[in-house]
């Protein structure tokens, strides 16, 4: 084809417009993709109030069920969006048609960390919600005094504000399948669909206990063991530092025990730290006794891995990390330190507390190697049975207040792993004393204060 000067110019101009149009379209397409990924189903959902699936989760169970709830609504063609409870404003609640709440309980009947702002901002006051229809799935454990305490408090507060429940609160005791099935059934009924997807958790796999060694021989405390496991068949599954492993012990398979994974996939094995639980009568706990004593090296262990989104590094992977823990809590922190070393991120500060330096300084050689390699910038230790100024890990914080502020000013995130009794509350109080509650609440809202406490 022969082009005249005029038709060439015309074609070039048209091409320019087309190009410009594509440039303008690209951000819109990106935004649309982002909205879809965030759970906004269809453009209408961005405008219409629609349904909201709100979760408050500490270790990811309620969050995972919220994702599955959203998926069920999505399949039924219902516009809905997924969010964390603390992202909801009073105006959101007043505008929403229907809100499904999936919340767990922590501490002693408390809300998970991620719900702190919702509790302090909204649940402390009156908020008329006459138009709101809602349902609550409350996750808990009936061996605690305040069973499903937060789910019950939330339900009560919503009712006091004039909201109407779509169906009675459903309580899930230790992940019990029948309660989850009841929620699924109610949901299918509401959504007008009978083909809700199957939500069952993945099966336990067969793993071989490849290694076991006691970390604290001679300690006045209960023995603690480092275990390494590999799949009996097939490839190692993928996981991230911060994730959890569930073990079904032969003596009590219906109550799997959960442990923080202390290794990363690059190690080629799942490592766990298990403290032998000694009962008042001197006998060993069922699951820990089996894992630490009875199961021979080479034995089959039924295990499955579970994502722990709230304790993963995720968006904090590029920040400096302050890792605080005690006892077996070093497991989750070790996973993070190994992930950081692999990524070449050396701005890590470990603060750790145990009983005594001679027997309970778990993984001391590893920390030395990390320091030598520039992968551990700070290490502070507290020994409760050795005397000295700092007895518990929280005592390490006030004398290091200036360094702590400097790290946080540099954008650091804090990860706490270990016992809820004493340690977690003590660390929280010490941080509040140094930084103030508002600052800590901001860190929580920014996902820069993450806890795996038990
Ligand atoms: C340290 C700790 C404290 C807990 N406190 C309570 C409690 O007071 N009441 C309750 O019903 N469940 C309690 N639970 C059980 C959790 O709510 C339950 O394991 C739930 O399935 C966790 O869901 P999530 O992963 O969404 O946070 C507690 C669990 C832990 C680890």
Read off the pLDDT of residues 170-185 as tens digits, 9 standing for 90 and up: 999 999 989 999 999 8
The three-point CA angle 379-225-277 to 5° equals 110
pLDDT above 70 for 4: no
227 near 298, Cβ under 8 Å?
no
pLDDT above 60 for 148: yes
Best residue for ligand 1 mutational test, from 53, 57, 58 (most atoms within 8 Å of Cβ)? 58
Q: Tell me the C-alpha distance between 209 and 224, whole Å.
A: 16
Best residue for ligand 1 mutational test, from 62, 136, 144 (most atoms within 8 Å of Cβ)? 144
Nearest Cα residue to atom 12 of ligand 1: 140
pLDDT score of 37: 38
Closest ligand 1 atom to Cα of 59: 25
pLDDT above 70 for 322: yes
pLDDT above 80 for 193: no
How many residues appear in the chain?
454
User: Residues with Cβ < 8 Å from 12, sequence gap 6 or more?
Assistant: none
Phi, psi of 135 (to 5 degrees): -145, 150
Q: Tell me the C-alpha distance between 130 and 427, whole Å.
A: 41
Tell me which H or E stretch contains 84. Answer: strand 80-84
Phi, psi of 165 (to 5 degrees): -85, 140
Determine whether the shortest distance from the Cβ of 62 to ligand 1 is under 6 A.
yes
Q: Tell me the C-alpha distance between 257 and 259, whole Å.
A: 7
pLDDT above 90 for 341: yes
Q: Is the ipTM of this complex over 0.95?
A: yes
pLDDT above 50 for 243: yes
- Ligand 1 center from residue 104 Cα (angstroms): 6
Determine whether the shortest distance from the Cβ of 260 to ligand 1 is under 6 A.
no
Determine whether the shortest distance from the Cβ of 241 to ligand 1 is under 6 A.
no
pLDDT score of 335: 98
Read off the pLDDT of residues 7-26 as tens digits, 9 standing for 90 and up: 545 444 444 444 444 443 44
Average pLDDT score over residue span 158-178:
94
149 near 140, Cβ under 8 Å?
yes
Q: Tell me the C-alpha distance between 113 and 445, whole Å.
A: 9
Nearest Cα residue to atom 28 of ligand 1: 106
Read off the pLDDT of residues 347-387 as tens digits, 9 standing for 90 and up: 999 999 999 999 999 999 999 999 999 999 999 999 999 97
pLDDT score of 387: 77
pLDDT score of 48: 44
Best residue for ligand 1 mutational test, from 57, 61, 68, 105 (most atoms within 8 Å of Cβ)? 105
Q: Tell me the C-alpha distance between 291 and 247, whole Å.
A: 9
User: Residues with Cβ < 8 Å from 247, sequence gap 6 or more?
Assistant: 256, 257, 258, 259, 272, 287, 291, 301, 302, 303
| 147 φψ region: left (φ > 0), alpha (ψ -120 to 50), beta (else) | beta
The domains of the chain, with CATH numbers, are 42-191 (3.40.50.360), 205-307 (2.40.30.10), 310-453 (3.40.50.80)
285 near 240, Cβ under 8 Å?
no
Burial 395-434 (b: 16+ CB within 10 A, else e): bbbeebeeebeebbeeebbbbbbbbeeebbebbbebbeeb
- Ligand 1 center from residue 180 Cα (angstroms): 16
Per-residue pLDDT band for 74 (boundaries 50, 70, 90) equals confident
Q: Tell me the C-alpha distance between 270 and 202, whole Å.
A: 17
């Amino acid at each position: 084809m022969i082009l005249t000067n005029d038709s060439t110019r015309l074609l070039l101009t048209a091409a320019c417009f087309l190009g410009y149009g594509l440039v303008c379209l690209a951000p819109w397409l990106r935004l649309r993709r982002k909205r879809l990924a965030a759970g906004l189903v269809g453009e209408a959902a961005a405008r219409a109030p629609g349904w909201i699936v709100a979760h408050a989760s500490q270790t990811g169970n309620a969050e995972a069920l919220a994702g599955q709830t959203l998926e069920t609504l999505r399949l039924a063609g219902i516009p809905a969006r997924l969010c964390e409870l603390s992202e909801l404003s009073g105006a959101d609640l007043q505008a929403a048609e229907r809100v499904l709440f999936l919340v767990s309980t922590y501490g002693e009947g408390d809300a998970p960390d991620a719900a702190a702002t919702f509790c302090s901002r909204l649940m402390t006051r009156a908020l008329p919600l006459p138009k709101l229809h809602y349902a609550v799935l409350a996750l808990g454990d009936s061996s605690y005094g305040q069973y499903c305490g937060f789910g019950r408090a939330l339900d009560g507060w919503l009712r006091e504000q004039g909201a109407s429940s779509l169906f009675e609160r459903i309580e899930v005791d230790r992940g019990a399948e029948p309660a989850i099935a009841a929620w699924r059934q109610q949901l299918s009924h509401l959504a007008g669909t009978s083909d809700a997807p199957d939500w069952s958790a993945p099966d336990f796999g067969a793993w071989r206990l490849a290694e076991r060694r006691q970390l604290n021989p001679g300690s006045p405390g209960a023995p603690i063991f480092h275990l390494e496991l590999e799949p009996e068949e097939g490839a190692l599954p993928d996981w991230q530092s911060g994730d959890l492993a569930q073990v079904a012990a032969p003596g009590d398979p219906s109550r799997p025990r959960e442990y923080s994974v202390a290794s990363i996939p690059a190690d080629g094995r799942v490592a766990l730290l298990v403290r032998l639980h000694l009962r008042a009568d001197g006998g060993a706990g069922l699951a820990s006794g089996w894992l630490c004593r009875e199961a021979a090296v080479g034995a089959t262990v039924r295990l499955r891995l579970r994502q722990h989104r709230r304790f993963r590094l995720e968006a904090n992977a590029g920040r400096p990390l302050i890792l605080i823990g005690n006892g077996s809590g070093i497991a989750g922190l070790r996973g993070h330190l190994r992930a950081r070393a692999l990524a070449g991120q050396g701005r890590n500060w470990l603060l750790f507390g145990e009983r005594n330096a001679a027997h309970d300084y778990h993984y001391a050689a590893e920390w030395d190697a990390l320091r030598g390699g520039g992968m551990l910038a700070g290490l502070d230790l507290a020994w409760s049975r050795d005397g000295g100024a700092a007895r518990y890990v929280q005592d390490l914080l006030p004398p290091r207040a200036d360094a702590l502020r400097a790290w946080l000013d540099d954008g650091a995130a804090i990860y706490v792993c270990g016992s809820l009794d004493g340690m977690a509350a003590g660390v929280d109080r010490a941080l509040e004393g140094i930084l103030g509650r508002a600052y800590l609440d901001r860190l929580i809202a920014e996902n820069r204060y993450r806890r795996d406490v038990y």
